[in-house]
A and B are shown apart, each in its own frame.
Chain A
Amino acid sequence: MTLKLSSLTLAALLGSTTLAAAECADPVKVGVLHSLSGTMAISETTLKDTMLMLVEKQNAAGGVLGCQIEAVVVDPASDWPLFAEKARELLTVSDVDVIFGNWTSVSRKSVLPVIEELNGLLFYPVQYEGEESSRNVFYTGAAPNQQAIPAVDYFLEELGVEKFALLGTDYVYPRTTNNILEQYLQDKGIAKEDIFVNYTPFGHSDWATIVGDVVALGADGKQVGVVSTINGDANIGFYKELAAADISADDIPVVAFSVGEEELSGLDTSNLVGHLAAWNYFMSADTPANAEFIAEWKAFAGEDRVTNDPMEAHYIGFNMWINAVEAAGTTDVDAVRTAMYGQEFPNLTGGTAVMLPNHHLAKPVLIGEITADGQFDIVSQTSEVPGDAWTDFLPASAVLTSDWKDLGCGMYNTETKTCVQLTSNY
C-alpha cells in the first residue's frame, strides 16, 4: 500500500516538474551589451556583473512568466561600430528579448539604427545628453535636467563660481551637454569670455597643459569651477595631474558627471577630497533598500567591490522590465513597451522611480563630495525630478516634446503640432 502511495506521489511530482518545464517552450533571454575591454572597460565591466547578479536573483525567485532567464553576454570592446554588430547578433542570432547595455552616447547612437530596424528593446542606464527619445530605448539614466543643470546651479549658488571650464572627451555627449550648459550659463548672466571649453580624445593622458590653462583662468580674480564630462580611463591621468598640481577643491572645485565610485576605486583619493560628482544615487545613501542591495552585491562580486549610479539604473530598469513582462503576459517588445508606461519601482535612495511616457524616469538629484576612502558624502539631495528628453534651454529643442503613450511620437513639435519623425537622429 505504502509503496503504491509513494510511487504515485513520485509520479505526480515528476509530472508537475515536467509540466513546469514544458510551459517554458520559449526561454527568456536577456542580452548584456557592455564593453569588457578597451578604454571604457573601467566603467562598464561592473555593469555586466550587475546584470548577472540581477538575473541570478530573479531566477532564484522563479524567473519570469515561469521561465528561467538566460543572460547572453557579448563584448563590444569600446569599439563603437562593433556595438552595432553585436546588437544585431544579439537580436538575430541569439534572439534576445531585451538588451541591457551601452555607456557612451556614441555607442548608443551606433546601436539605435539596428534596434529601431529590428524592433529590439534597449535599457540604457547611463546619464546622457538628451536630445533623443527612441521608441525602442528606455533611458534609466539621467537627462541633462536631472544632472548637468542642477550641478551647475549648485556651482552658481553654493560655491559662487563665476568662471567655468567645461572639460570633456571628444564625442557627442560632452559636446551636446556643453552646448546646453553654455546656453544655460549665458542665460544666467555668465559672460561668454568666462566659459572655457576643451575637448580631448578618449584615453588622453597628457593633462599638464590643460590643467595649467584652468589655473590661469583665475588670473582675473573670479572664482573658477570645472565641469568635467571626461569619460573612461582618461580620468585617471586628469585626477593624477590635479593632485600633482595641488589643486584643492576649496580653490577650484571640479564636478564630474561620469566619475563614480567604480572609477575612483583604482585611484588614491586622498588628494581629491572635496571634489564633486553629480548623480542620482551614491553608495553612501543611508536607506534600508540600499544597505540590502550593497550586501547582496558584495556577496556576489566580492567584499571590495563598490556600487554606483548606473548599477542602480540597471536595478530599477531590470525590475521594471520584469514587472512589465508579467503585466503584459509576454516578452513581445510592443506589449512590454505599453506595459512599461507608469511602472513604479522603489529606488535605492528612499524614493520611487516612475517610468514616464517619454521613456525617462523621475529621479532625485544628488551632489556628493569625494572622501578619502573613494566614497561620496552627499551634500545635496532633491526629490524626484521628471526627466526631460528635449531640453528647454536650446531654442531648437524647447519646442519639442516626447510622448509615446498618447501622442505616439518621440519628437513632437508643439508649435506646428506635428510629429517631426518617428526614428531617432543617429
Chain B
Amino acid sequence: MRYVQHRNQDLRTADVQLLTGLRRAATFAALRIPLYSESFSMRLLFSALVFCLLSVAGAQAQDLQRILQTHASEISDPSRSSVGVALDDMIAAGLPQTADFLEQWSDKNVWQRTDGVFFIAREQGDDLALRDVDTGAASSAPQAEFTQLKPNGGVRRVIGTALVQFQLSDPDLERRTTAVASIARRPEAEQLQPLLASISKETDPALRARKIQLANFLSASFAEAPQDRITAIESLSEDTSVEARAVLNQILRVEQGVVEAAPEGNIARILDPSESPDAAYAQLVSASLAPAPTTPAMIRAALENNIIGGRVGDVPVAELDTDIGRARAYGALVLAGLMPPLVTSESRDEMLSRYTFYERYLETDAAITDAAEEALASVEARVGWAQTIDLALDGLSLASIYFLAAIGLAITFGVMGVINMAHGEFIMMGAYTGYVVQQFIPDYTLSLVVALPLAFAITFVAGVLMERLVIRHLYHRPLETLLATFGISIALQQLAKNIFGTQARPLTSPAWLDGALVYSDVIQISYIRIAIFVLALIFLALILFVFKRTRLGLEVRAVTQNPGMAASMGINPDRINMLTFGFGSGIAGIAGVAIGLYAKVTSEMGADYIVQSFMTVVVGGVGNVWGTLAGASLIGFLQKGIEWLNPSNTLAAQTYMILFIILFIQFRPKGIVALKGRAAAD
C-alpha cells in the first residue's frame, strides 16, 4: 500500500496513551526473568553462560555458507511455500552477515557457481565482481560459470518479512521505510513488538507517524489484552484508508455453520434458509446431515437396476416414459425398502426448518467484534462520502477535457454554421506538434512552454488555409461542407501516418506533473488532470475576454447574430469568418497538446474526440461559451455516473449517453443554452 501522508502529522494524545500502554504490556510479556540477581552464584552462572555463547558464536562466524548449502535447492529455485524453512534456519543462526545476504538476494545480486557455492556479485562486462557471503573477500570470475538467482515476487515478499527485524532500526532511512512497507503488506503478530520498540528511536517524523499507524493496525489484530485491541479498533474508525478497512474486515471474518439446537460462540447473524434453499440444503448434505437430493439421473439408474420381468415394482417398463410413471415405480421401490425415500421440495423444506443456519465470527471475543462492527460502519459512511467526492472530481476532469476539445468546434459552428469534421485532426496536429518539439528540446517543461503557442500558431494557419481554400466556396451548403471536411480529415490522418508512422508516439509530461494529488486512499486525482482543468479555466477566461472585451469579439458576435446587418455596419464577414475559423482551430491545437500528454498520440486520436465534441456542442447549444461549458459538464458527469452504476462495462456508458442525448434533443432541440433573437431562428 502506498505510504499515505496523514493530514495531521502530530501525535494525538490518544495515540500516546495507547503506545505507552502497549509498550508496557509488551515489555512485561518479554521480560519474565530478572536479569540481575543479588546472589553471587547466579552472577557466576550467568557470566559463564555468556562466555559459552560468545565462543560458540565465534566458532560459527563462518557458517552462513554452510546453512545455504544445506538448503541449496530451496535457495536456488525457491517457491513462496518452501523458502520459509531456509529463512528460519538462517535467522535462527543469528549471524551478522545474514541481513546483508537477504537484501542482496531480494535484489537479484546473488549468483551460484557451477559447484554450488553462493556469492554476492555485480556484473562487470563479461565478468562478475564477487564477494564472499561470510568474509566479504572480493574476487572476480567469468560470468559463464555462474547462474543468477532471481526470486519471484512471492518469495521476495517472504524475504522482506524476514528482513523486517533487521531493518526496523537500521540507520539508513530507506531501509527502515522498506521494512515498514513489508510489515504493511504482510502483517504478522511477531512484528508488533519490534515495531513498538523501534518507534521511540525513530527520528524521521513522517516515518514515525506511519509506524504508529501500523502499530495501531497490528494491535487491533494481534495485541494480547482485549482492551488494547478495542482501543486500537476505535482509533481506526476515522481512517478511510484501504488498509484500515482491511484490518477491520479481517477481524470480522465469519465462517458458516449449521446446527440443530441453538448455536454457540460469537454469532454474527442467523441466516434464513428460505432465501436460497438449494444452497442451504447443499450445506446440510456436505455436513452429512441430510441425504443428497435425488436427480432424475439417479432415479433412472435406480429404475434400470431394478427391472424384474419387464416390470419395476408393479409398473410395466412401457409406462416409465412419464414423470408420473417413474415416480410411481420409484415409490414402489421405496415401499419395498430397496431405495431411500425421494427428496422432494417439501421434504427438503422440512429438513431445513429443523436446523439453524448461522454465521459465526472467527474472533471469539464479542466485545472486540462489536467494536469492530461499529468502527467499520463509521468508516464505510465516510468512504461513501469520499467516493462521491472522488467521482465528482473525475467527472469534473472529464468535463474539462471535453470542454477543451469542443470549444473550438462550438465557436466555428456557432459563428459560421459550418460543420467541421476535421476538428479532431486539428487536435491531432497540436499533439504531434508537441511531440516534434519534444524531439528537439529535451527539457520537458521548456518543450511544453514552446509547444503550446507553436501548436496554436500551426493549427491557426491550418484552419485559415482550410477556410480560404475549401469552406469559403461551400457556404450555405452544409452537406457539401460536411463531406469536404470529412475528406480533409481522412487526408490529414493519412498524412500524419506517412510522416510519423503508425505507432503511437510518446508525449511525456514533465516530472512535476507526474503522480497524483492524494487526499486519502479514496480521493485522489492525477496532477495532469488538474493541469488540464486549469488550462480549461484559462481558456474559458480567455474566450470570454476576447468575446466580450475586444473589437474582434464584438465583430464576431455581430456576424453570429446577423451577418447581413453586420456587413452593412462595415464589418467584413469574410475576414471575420476566416479569423474565427483560425481561432477555433488554434484552440483545438492547444487542446491537442494537453490531451496528448494524458492519453496517447496516434494519427487516429482525433476520431476519439470528434464524437464527444459534437455531442457537447449539440447538447450545450451553439454560439455561446456557457452553452459549451454546460454541455461538457453534463456529458462528463453523466458518463462518470453511468460508469459508476455499471462498473463492468465501460462501453455501456457511451451507449447510454448517446441514448440520453437523443432523448434530450427531442425536448430541447437548441441545446441547454440557446441563442435568442430573429437571426437565431435557423
Contacts and interface: CB of A to CB of B under 8 A. Distances in A.
A39 B249 CA distance: 42
Interface stretch (B151-159, B336-344, B531-539, B670-678): B151-159
Nearest to B252: A220
A208 interface: yes
Given A41-B502, A380-B152, A246 B2 contact: yes
Given A250-B181, A367-B152, 11 more contacts: A158-B155, A198-B647, A198-B650, A204-B650, A210-B650, A216-B242, A220-B246, A236-B504, A245-B526, A250-B153, A378-B150
Interface string A172-187: 0000000000000000
B416 interface: no
A246 B518 CA distance: 11
A160 interface: yes
Given A41-B503, A237-B599, A213 B521 contact: no
B2 A377 contact: no
Contacts of B397: 208
A213 B153 contact: no
Contacts of B390: 212
B648 A199 contact: yes
Interface in B511-549: 514-516, 521-522, 524-526, 528-529
Interface in A209-232: 209-210, 212-213, 215-216, 218-222
Nearest to A43: B503
Contacts of A319: none
A85 interface: no
A200 B80 contact: no
26 contacts: A36-B502, A37-B502, A39-B602, A39-B604, A158-B79, A203-B608, A205-B600, A206-B650, A209-B647, A210-B650, A215-B242, A215-B521, A218-B242, A221-B245, A221-B246, A222-B246, A236-B600, A241-B526, A245-B524, A245-B526, A246-B515, A250-B153, A250-B156, A250-B185, A251-B1, A276-B153
B521 A158 contact: no
Interface in B379-406: 390-391, 394, 397-398
A369 interface: yes
Contacts of B643: 209
A246 B516 contact: yes
B506 interface: yes
A369 B153 CA distance: 9
B506 A249 contact: no
B502 to A, nearest CB: 4
Contacts of B155: 158
A246 B654 CA distance: 28
A157 interface: yes
A149 interface: no
A194 to B, nearest CB: 13
A190 interface: no
A110 B242 CA distance: 44
A170 interface: yes
Contact of B80 (A41, A158, A170, A276): A158
Interface string A13-38: 00000000000000000000000111
A319 B155 CA distance: 39
B154 A38 contact: no
Nearest to A244: B526
A52 interface: no
A207 B155 CA distance: 30
Interface in B470-513: 497, 502-504, 506, 508
A157 B242 contact: no
Contacts of A250: 153, 156-157, 160, 181, 185
B533 to A, nearest CB: 13
Contacts of A377: 108, 150
A249 B526 contact: no
B154 A159 contact: yes
Contacts, number: 142
A219 B650 contact: no
A249 B153 contact: yes
B604 A268 contact: no
A245 to B, nearest CB: 6
A37 B603 contact: yes
Given A219-B249, A369-B152, A206 B647 contact: no
A378 B608 CA distance: 37
A209 B503 contact: no
Contacts of B504: 42, 233, 236, 266
A216 B249 contact: no
B649 A379 contact: no
B250 A221 contact: yes
Contact of A219 (B246, B514, B644, B649): B246
A305 B92 CA distance: 49
Contacts of B640: 209
Given A160-B80, A369-B152, A38 B650 contact: no
B297 to A, nearest CB: 14
Given A41-B503, A201-B651, A205-B600, A274 B245 contact: no
A298 B480 CA distance: 50
A380 B154 CA distance: 12
A156 B497 CA distance: 44
A197 interface: yes
A253 B154 CA distance: 10
Contacts of A367: 152
Contacts of B249: 219-221
B288 interface: no
Contacts of B529: 208
Nearest to B529: A208
Interface centre among B157, B525, B526, B599 (most CB of A within 10 A): B599
Interface in A107-123: none
A45 interface: yes
B496 to A, nearest CB: 10
A157 to B, nearest CB: 7
A41 B522 CA distance: 36
A56 B391 CA distance: 55
Nearest to A377: B150
A208 B156 contact: no
Given A37-B502, A215-B521, A159 B246 contact: no
Contacts of B39: none
Given A369-B152, A379-B152, A205 B603 contact: no
B112 to A, nearest CB: 15
A160 B526 CA distance: 30
Contacts of A245: 516, 524, 526
A200 B152 CA distance: 30
A250 B649 CA distance: 27
Contacts of A378: 150
A114 B108 CA distance: 51
B246 A42 contact: no
B508 A268 contact: yes
Contacts of B295: none
Interface centre among A37, A221, A379, A380 (most CB of B within 10 A): A221
A221 B249 CA distance: 7
A369 to B, nearest CB: 7
Interface in B34-56: none
Contact of B599 (A205, A249, A380): A205
Contacts of B497: 37
Contacts of A379: 150-153
A199 B651 contact: yes
Interface centre among B152, B156, B524, B528 (most CB of A within 10 A): B152
B81 interface: yes
B604 A38 contact: yes
A251 B80 CA distance: 16
* 7 closest A-B pairs by CB: A221-B246, A205-B599, A220-B249, A41-B502, A379-B152, A221-B250, A158-B154
B247 interface: yes
Contacts of B245: 219-221
A234 to B, nearest CB: 9
Contacts of A213: 647
Nearest to B152: A379
Nearest to A236: B600
